[in-house]
Amino acid sequence: MLAAGGCSTFNHDYDAALRRQHAGIAGCWSGTWSSESNGHHGTLRCILTPHGENAYDARFRAVYCGLIPFEESVLLTGTDSGDLWRFRGEKDLGWLAGGIYQYTGEATATKFMARYTSVHDRRIFEMTRHR
């Protein structure tokens, strides 16, 4: 799913982001991921950082089997209709990790829903804003 995160600064960066004010959908999110392909699921956190107009760097940290952390970053681009931001993104994680992952979803000020698909898996991300 995501690249293994051994020596990561994610937790530190997430805590630091919690202490800052964010506009729009930028900031910290937390929730769950689940696989429609195999039933696996786990916790999920994300830091959304603005990246130009109508784009965000999404830095995800997921936990698999309750103890194996994985991390991945993807650029999400989309359209903002005021209360709803619809987005998409794509990332090639390499052959061993399942190849190309495509992300689609939407976010409001309080909810983030996304699907991602690859050749071997279909997953759902459901998060709420962590304030």
Q: Mean pLDDT by 10-residue block, N- to C-terminus, for the chain (131 residues)?
A: 58 92 91 91 95 93 86 93 92 83 94 92 92 66
Look-up: residue for tokens 């020596």?
A: 7
Instruction: Please name the residues in contact with 53: beta carbons below 8 A apart, sequence gap of 6 or more.
Output: none
**What is residue 22's predicted lDDT score, i.e. its pLDDT?**
86
pTM for the predicted model, two decimal places: 0.88
Whichever domain contains 47, its CATH number is 2.40.128.120
Domain that holds residue 49: 3-129
Q: Which two tokens stand for residue 73?
A: 């970053």
Domain count, the chain: 1
